[in-house]
Protein backbone atom coordinates (compact mmCIF):
# COMPACT_ATOMS: atom_id res chain seq x y z
CA UNK A 1 0.00 0.00 0.00
CA UNK A 2 1.37 3.40 -0.95
CA UNK A 3 1.98 5.92 1.80
CA UNK A 4 -0.67 8.57 2.39
CA UNK A 5 0.21 11.83 0.70
CA UNK A 6 0.86 14.81 2.93
CA UNK A 7 -0.36 18.24 1.83
CA UNK A 8 2.35 20.83 2.46
CA UNK A 9 1.39 24.50 2.17
CA UNK A 10 4.34 26.84 1.73
CA UNK A 11 4.74 30.60 1.79
CA UNK A 12 7.88 32.70 2.13
CA UNK A 13 8.86 36.36 2.33
CA UNK A 14 6.00 37.57 4.49
CA UNK A 15 8.14 40.47 5.76
CA UNK A 16 5.89 40.95 8.78
CA UNK A 17 6.31 44.51 10.03
CA UNK A 18 4.54 47.29 11.88
CA UNK A 19 2.02 47.76 9.07
CA UNK A 20 1.14 44.05 8.82
CA UNK A 21 -1.09 43.76 11.88
CA UNK A 22 -4.33 41.98 11.05
CA UNK A 23 -3.52 41.46 7.38
CA UNK A 24 -2.58 37.77 7.43
CA UNK A 25 -5.18 36.12 9.65
CA UNK A 26 -7.50 35.07 6.80
CA UNK A 27 -4.59 33.80 4.72
CA UNK A 28 -3.26 31.70 7.60
CA UNK A 29 -6.74 30.32 8.31
CA UNK A 30 -7.12 29.27 4.68
CA UNK A 31 -3.75 27.51 4.78
CA UNK A 32 -4.74 25.71 7.96
CA UNK A 33 -7.98 24.47 6.39
CA UNK A 34 -6.29 23.06 3.29
CA UNK A 35 -2.96 21.65 4.47
CA UNK A 36 -1.47 19.05 6.80
CA UNK A 37 1.67 21.10 7.46
CA UNK A 38 2.53 24.78 7.02
CA UNK A 39 5.99 25.71 5.74
CA UNK A 40 6.67 29.29 6.77
CA UNK A 41 10.22 29.84 5.74
CA UNK A 42 12.42 32.87 5.49
CA UNK A 43 11.98 36.63 5.79
CA UNK A 44 9.26 36.14 8.34
CA UNK A 45 9.96 39.62 9.70
CA UNK A 46 10.77 42.87 7.94
CA UNK A 47 13.66 44.15 10.05
CA UNK A 48 14.52 41.06 12.09
CA UNK A 49 12.98 42.37 15.30
CA UNK A 50 11.66 40.17 18.09
CA UNK A 51 8.59 42.40 18.42
CA UNK A 52 7.76 41.81 14.74
CA UNK A 53 7.98 38.06 15.35
CA UNK A 54 5.78 38.42 18.44
CA UNK A 55 3.07 40.15 16.39
CA UNK A 56 3.32 37.46 13.72
CA UNK A 57 2.83 34.60 16.16
CA UNK A 58 -0.36 36.19 17.48
CA UNK A 59 -1.95 35.48 14.09
CA UNK A 60 -0.33 32.07 13.78
CA UNK A 61 -1.75 30.99 17.13
CA UNK A 62 -5.19 32.34 16.31
CA UNK A 63 -5.52 30.87 12.82
CA UNK A 64 -3.31 27.82 12.30
CA UNK A 65 -4.19 24.34 13.56
CA UNK A 66 -1.53 22.29 11.75
CA UNK A 67 2.21 21.89 12.46
CA UNK A 68 4.32 24.86 11.34
CA UNK A 69 7.92 24.46 10.21
CA UNK A 70 10.29 27.26 9.27
CA UNK A 71 13.73 28.67 8.59
CA UNK A 72 14.97 32.22 8.91
CA UNK A 73 15.71 34.47 5.94
CA UNK A 74 18.16 37.32 5.43
CA UNK A 75 15.66 39.94 6.69
CA UNK A 76 15.42 38.04 9.96
CA UNK A 77 19.13 38.75 10.54
CA UNK A 78 18.89 42.50 9.82
CA UNK A 79 18.85 43.75 13.43
CA UNK A 80 21.42 41.29 14.70
CA UNK A 81 19.00 39.31 16.85
CA UNK A 82 18.07 36.21 14.83
CA UNK A 83 18.21 34.07 17.96
CA UNK A 84 15.50 36.22 19.56
CA UNK A 85 13.33 36.00 16.46
CA UNK A 86 13.77 32.24 16.41
CA UNK A 87 13.01 31.93 20.13
CA UNK A 88 9.77 33.89 19.81
CA UNK A 89 8.62 31.60 17.00
CA UNK A 90 9.65 28.42 18.81
CA UNK A 91 7.88 29.47 22.00
CA UNK A 92 4.73 29.82 19.91
CA UNK A 93 5.09 26.22 18.70
CA UNK A 94 6.83 26.78 15.37
CA UNK A 95 9.54 24.20 14.65
CA UNK A 96 12.50 26.21 13.38
CA UNK A 97 15.33 24.61 11.43
CA UNK A 98 18.99 25.59 11.33
CA UNK A 99 20.40 22.23 10.42
CA UNK A 100 17.74 20.28 12.33
CA UNK A 101 15.14 17.88 11.00
CA UNK A 102 11.82 16.33 11.99
CA UNK A 103 9.27 13.81 10.72
CA UNK A 104 5.54 14.37 10.19
CA UNK A 105 3.21 11.62 8.99
CA UNK A 106 6.07 9.65 7.47
CA UNK A 107 7.65 12.60 5.68
CA UNK A 108 11.03 13.93 6.75
CA UNK A 109 11.71 17.67 6.81
CA UNK A 110 15.12 19.36 7.01
CA UNK A 111 16.13 22.95 6.56
CA UNK A 112 18.66 25.76 6.71
CA UNK A 113 18.56 29.38 5.67
CA UNK A 114 21.20 28.85 2.99
CA UNK A 115 23.39 31.55 1.52
CA UNK A 116 24.52 33.17 -1.71
CA UNK A 117 27.50 32.67 -3.96
CA UNK A 118 26.01 32.01 -7.37
CA UNK A 119 25.48 29.03 -9.59
CA UNK A 120 27.40 26.55 -11.71
CA UNK A 121 30.66 27.60 -13.31
CA UNK A 122 30.06 31.20 -12.22
CA UNK A 123 29.83 30.27 -8.56
CA UNK A 124 32.10 32.37 -6.33
CA UNK A 125 35.17 30.50 -5.08
CA UNK A 126 37.38 31.09 -2.06
CA UNK A 127 40.10 33.12 -3.73
CA UNK A 128 41.62 36.50 -3.04
CA UNK A 129 40.65 38.79 -0.20
CA UNK A 130 39.82 37.34 3.24
CA UNK A 131 36.30 38.80 3.08
CA UNK A 132 35.62 36.83 -0.12
CA UNK A 133 36.86 33.65 1.50
CA UNK A 134 34.63 34.31 4.52
CA UNK A 135 31.62 34.79 2.23
CA UNK A 136 32.30 31.51 0.45
CA UNK A 137 32.89 29.70 3.73
CA UNK A 138 29.42 30.70 4.92
CA UNK A 139 27.91 29.13 1.81
CA UNK A 140 29.94 25.96 2.40
CA UNK A 141 28.94 25.85 6.07
CA UNK A 142 25.26 26.14 5.16
CA UNK A 143 25.54 23.26 2.69
CA UNK A 144 27.31 21.10 5.27
CA UNK A 145 24.64 21.98 7.83
CA UNK A 146 21.93 20.85 5.39
CA UNK A 147 23.84 17.65 4.68
CA UNK A 148 24.04 16.84 8.39
CA UNK A 149 20.28 17.31 8.74
CA UNK A 150 19.51 15.08 5.75
CA UNK A 151 21.80 12.34 7.10
CA UNK A 152 19.59 12.05 10.17
CA UNK A 153 16.38 11.46 8.21
CA UNK A 154 15.37 7.81 7.83
CA UNK A 155 12.24 8.48 5.77
CA UNK A 156 11.86 7.72 2.06
CA UNK A 157 10.24 11.10 1.44
CA UNK A 158 12.43 14.08 2.32
CA UNK A 159 11.48 17.75 2.01
CA UNK A 160 14.05 20.54 2.18
CA UNK A 161 13.21 24.04 3.38
CA UNK A 162 15.52 26.87 2.35
CA UNK A 163 15.40 30.62 2.04
CA UNK A 164 18.07 30.89 -0.67
CA UNK A 165 17.69 28.98 -3.93
CA UNK A 166 19.82 25.91 -4.70
CA UNK A 167 19.43 26.36 -8.48
CA UNK A 168 19.64 29.16 -11.03
CA UNK A 169 16.40 28.22 -12.79
CA UNK A 170 14.01 29.59 -10.17
CA UNK A 171 15.95 32.87 -10.10
CA UNK A 172 15.26 33.56 -13.77
CA UNK A 173 13.33 36.81 -14.02
CA UNK A 174 15.56 38.58 -11.52
CA UNK A 175 18.29 40.96 -12.69
CA UNK A 176 21.41 38.90 -13.53
CA UNK A 177 23.48 41.22 -11.34
CA UNK A 178 21.80 39.89 -8.18
CA UNK A 179 21.99 36.17 -8.98
CA UNK A 180 25.05 35.63 -6.73
CA UNK A 181 23.00 36.92 -3.79
CA UNK A 182 19.93 34.75 -4.44
CA UNK A 183 21.40 31.32 -3.80
CA UNK A 184 24.18 28.84 -4.33
CA UNK A 185 24.80 25.62 -6.22
CA UNK A 186 26.53 24.37 -3.08
CA UNK A 187 23.09 23.78 -1.59
CA UNK A 188 22.12 21.53 -4.50
CA UNK A 189 24.81 18.91 -3.92
CA UNK A 190 23.46 17.38 -0.65
CA UNK A 191 19.91 17.66 -2.00
CA UNK A 192 20.81 15.49 -4.98
CA UNK A 193 23.01 13.08 -3.03
CA UNK A 194 20.32 12.33 -0.45
CA UNK A 195 17.59 12.26 -3.13
CA UNK A 196 15.20 14.71 -1.58
CA UNK A 197 11.59 14.61 -2.73
CA UNK A 198 10.89 18.34 -3.00
CA UNK A 199 12.55 21.66 -2.26
CA UNK A 200 10.91 24.91 -1.17
CA UNK A 201 12.65 28.28 -1.15
CA UNK A 202 11.85 31.98 -1.33
CA UNK A 203 13.99 35.13 -1.60
CA UNK A 204 13.67 35.40 -5.41
CA UNK A 205 10.75 37.85 -5.49
CA UNK A 206 10.79 38.08 -9.28
CA UNK A 207 12.04 34.58 -10.01
CA UNK A 208 10.31 31.67 -11.71
CA UNK A 209 7.98 29.55 -9.61
CA UNK A 210 9.20 26.11 -10.73
CA UNK A 211 12.50 24.45 -11.49
CA UNK A 212 14.44 21.23 -10.91
CA UNK A 213 17.87 20.17 -9.75
CA UNK A 214 20.33 18.41 -12.06
CA UNK A 215 18.84 15.07 -10.97
CA UNK A 216 15.25 16.16 -11.55
CA UNK A 217 14.16 16.98 -7.99
CA UNK A 218 11.39 19.62 -8.13
CA UNK A 219 12.24 23.03 -6.71
CA UNK A 220 9.40 25.39 -5.77
CA UNK A 221 9.95 29.13 -5.38
CA UNK A 222 7.13 30.14 -3.05
CA UNK A 223 8.16 33.70 -2.39
CA UNK A 224 4.96 35.59 -1.63
CA UNK A 225 5.75 38.43 -4.08
CA UNK A 226 6.47 35.91 -6.86
CA UNK A 227 3.21 34.05 -6.22
CA UNK A 228 1.30 37.33 -6.28
CA UNK A 229 3.01 38.30 -9.52
CA UNK A 230 2.34 35.11 -11.46
CA UNK A 231 -1.02 34.16 -9.91
CA UNK A 232 -2.60 37.47 -8.87
CA UNK A 233 -6.10 36.00 -8.57
CA UNK A 234 -5.09 33.17 -6.23
CA UNK A 235 -4.14 33.08 -2.57
CA UNK A 236 -0.35 33.60 -2.30
CA UNK A 237 0.67 30.20 -1.02
CA UNK A 238 1.46 26.91 -2.71
CA UNK A 239 0.15 23.46 -1.78
CA UNK A 240 2.20 20.47 -2.87
CA UNK A 241 1.29 16.84 -2.14
CA UNK A 242 4.32 14.92 -0.87
Share above pLDDT 90 across residues of the chain, in percent, rounded to a whole number = 84
Please say if the pLDDT value at position 202 is more than 50.
yes
pLDDT of residue 25: 86
Burial class for 127, CB neighbours closer than 10 Å (0-12, 13-18, 19+): exposed
CA torsion 49→174→143→31, rounded to 10°? 60
Share above pLDDT 70 across residues of the chain, in percent, rounded to a whole number = 99
pLDDT in tens, 90-148: 999 999 999 999 999 999 999 999 999 999 988 999 999 999 999 999 999 999 999 99
Write out the H or E segment, with its range, that includes residue 241: strand 238-241
Please say if the pLDDT value at position 1 is more than 70.
no
Residue 148 lies in a domain: yes
DSSP 30-72: HHHHH-SEEEE-S--BSS--HHHHHHHHHHHHHH--S-EEE--
Residue 191 lies in a domain: yes
DSSP conformation class of 115:
-
Instruction: Please count the helices (runs of H) and the strands (runs of E) in the chain.
Output: 6, 11
- Cα–Cα nearest to 86, from 118, 116, 124, 56: 56
Please say if the pLDDT value at position 82 is more than 60.
yes
Three-state SS at 220: strand
Report how far residue 115's alpha carbon sits from residue 229's, in angstroms, rounded to the nearest whole number: 24
Residue 1 lies in a domain: no
- CATH number of the domain where residue 162 is located: 3.60.21.10
Residue 173 lies in a domain: yes
Average pLDDT taken over every residue of the chain: 94
Residue 19 lies in a domain: yes
Q: What is the mean pLDDT of residues 31-44?
A: 94
Residue 2 lies in a domain: no
Report how far residue 90's alpha carbon sits from residue 71's, in angstroms, rounded to the nearest whole number: 11
Write out the H or E segment, with its range, that includes residue 95: strand 95-96
Cβ atoms within 10 Å of 154's Cβ, excluding its own = 9
Cβ atoms within 10 Å of 51's Cβ, excluding its own = 13
Structural domain of 73: 7-241
pLDDT in tens, 157-168: 999 999 999 999
The model's pTM: 0.95
Residue 37 lies in a domain: yes
Q: Are 199 and 160 in contact (CB under 8 A)?
A: yes
Looking at the structure of the chain, the number of domains it has is 1
Q: How far is CA 91 from CA 86, 113, 146, 183, in A?
A: 9, 20, 23, 29
pLDDT of residue 2: 58
Amino acid sequence: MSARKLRAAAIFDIHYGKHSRGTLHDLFAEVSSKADVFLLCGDLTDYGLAEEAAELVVHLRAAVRVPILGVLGNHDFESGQPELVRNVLEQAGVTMFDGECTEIQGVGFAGVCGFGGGFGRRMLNAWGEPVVKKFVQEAIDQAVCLEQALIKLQTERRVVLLHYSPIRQTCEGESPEVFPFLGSTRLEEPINRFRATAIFHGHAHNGALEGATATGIPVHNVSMPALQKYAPNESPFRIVEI
